Structure 1
């Protein structure tokens, strides 16, 4: 049986127009009436038709989630984005909002998708799930005064951009400090991207920790394609490395495969620490030691802030930092120092 507005009005003993105004949060309806009608809707299990409501109001109650260009298998498989989408969807429902995805393999196509979603009034604002330098999408959203929230730290206009992030520099520093505490002195930082802000922030944290411990910080090593992989063995040997910091969990699993291919054991010969605490961190042994960035909270806070921007509420700040925590597992052990 389908529950209708008339059913709600009959049980709440109000006019159907009153129920419609409650659904649309009309200011003419008192808070007491809103609570009474909402209670009846909950009891009957009535769910407002958001599309019909939007048509009547000539507005949209959808928000766009912009994923980065999905130009590699690793990025396509990265659980971070699925977890972010799920968290945003859950929070959106609390605000009677729906979500739409903007995805593409390249930045140009992604840009066109975002423009179409805006010009066709499909969405009232956007959440950007990545931060890269010279992003045309952010430039467009700013020029058009379109509400958006960034997950990650922007490269510019920090004081004018609402963003939700971890303290990625502190993440890099704490990962490095943890390795140093376990006796490692020759530590490498390895990445598969140099365009995203999380790389710079985490790498800066690594450099800071190494300098504060009066240890030599190595130049970061970038492994993008299979042709780069041979560089890892050369770097381990030249640096006499005993530990590696990998940019995220999926990339860390690739690093483990490579070092074992070169004859090293993890963690006996090489300790590895990464970030995100994704589902991949416990799929295979050894389980990854990683820093949990609380992905669900990132998505929830971003959606909460975007809903406020769309309503025109004054924001209570521009930057929102989500805490993190170290998850100790099996890929880091104490370095055994042998006497000569």
Structure 2
């Protein structure tokens, strides 16, 4: 038979209301009493009812990770989000907080889910895992002063948002510079998204590196429609590209498949560098040369800063930058005429 609050109170020689205050960490109870009651709770294997405890505190003791609309196979299968959820879950556990997921196929359904979760007090705050232009979810969170942290750089009202990010413009610049150092002069930037802030930042970094080197910059090669994939061999032929900077590891694998389909071999015909250093980077050959964005650090910091907001602690600085590291593997080779 499961022990009750009255059982714990009787053994600790205190009132049931005192046990309830200990459970809620009420400041009116001395540290000695709290320690004694908690020790007895542990000995009796007593676990307080979370719903009852949170009702008194008007807290859900839960946070949610908001995923972008899962409207493509690349997004559904992107390990970045799975790794992020795992990291946030581990960090939340340290604060005795549970983790929920907000996901949907469309932006409209995603917004409805986020609104419902917060209005029904299912969660106390959110970690927004993406940043897009004209995002109604971000607008809702900001307008209603709901605690949230963003992984990425805000597309709007930057001063009103606490965000954790890599320096994505620097990432794009350094990835491109790495290809230039290997003797590549005709370099493309390839992406399957064109609205996310990290797309613009990484593409700007690509442009900066090429302009500094006095080399030609090309319009971003965005693959958002079927005809974009069909035009791939013509694009390579017209630009005489020998290397690509690709938006992330998952899409890099798609580019490798596309190249092979048209008789181009990576890295012999096309060198390729991507971002995230996900599990896919070493699942198939050639292993991806990629930039590690330290997802673990991103998730831990996002959780920590969200908990600070929920607990109404001062949040020092609206922006936190996580370091990155370029990992050399097999998809980049030096040009023979370099």
Instruction: Give the TM-score, by structure 2 length.
Output: 0.92
Structure 2 partner of 1:300: 300
Aligned pairs (5 A) from 1:1-340: 17-31=17-31, 34=34, 47-337=47-337
Q: Cα offset for 1:245?
A: 0.7
- The 1:24–1:231 alpha-carbon spacing in structure 2 relative to 1, beyond 3 Å, is same
Q: Cα offset for 1:55?
A: 2.5
Instruction: For residue 229 of structure 1, give the secondary structure of its aligned residue in structure 2.
Output: helix
Q: Cα offset for 1:168?
A: 0.6
Of 55-64 and 74-83, the range deviating more from structure 2 = 55-64
State the alpha-carbon separation in 2 of the partners of residues 44 and 320 from structure 1: 43
Gap regions ≥5 residues in structure 2: none
Superposition RMSD on alpha carbons, in Å? 2.2
State the alpha-carbon separation in 1 of the partners of residues 40 and 217 from structure 2: 63
Of 248-257 and 289-298, the range deviating more from structure 2 = 289-298
Question: What do residues 5-60 of structure 1 show as CA deviations (whole Å, max 9, x unaligned)?
Answer: 56766787766544433332222234555556556666776654322311233332
Q: Cα offset for 1:291?
A: 0.6
Instruction: Give the TM-score, by structure 1 length.
Output: 0.92
Q: Cα offset for 1:113?
A: 1.1
Q: Cα offset for 1:3?
A: 6.6
Contact 2:142 2:160 survives alignment (8 Å): no
Instruction: For residue 64 of structure 2, give the secondary structure of its aligned residue in structure 1.
Output: strand
State the alpha-carbon separation in 2 of the partners of residues 72 and 233 from structure 1: 23
Gap regions ≥5 residues in structure 1: none
Question: What do residues 196-225 of structure 1 show as CA deviations (whole Å, max 9, x unaligned)?
Answer: 011001011111111111111111100123
- The 1:284–1:42 alpha-carbon spacing in structure 2 relative to 1, beyond 3 Å, is farther
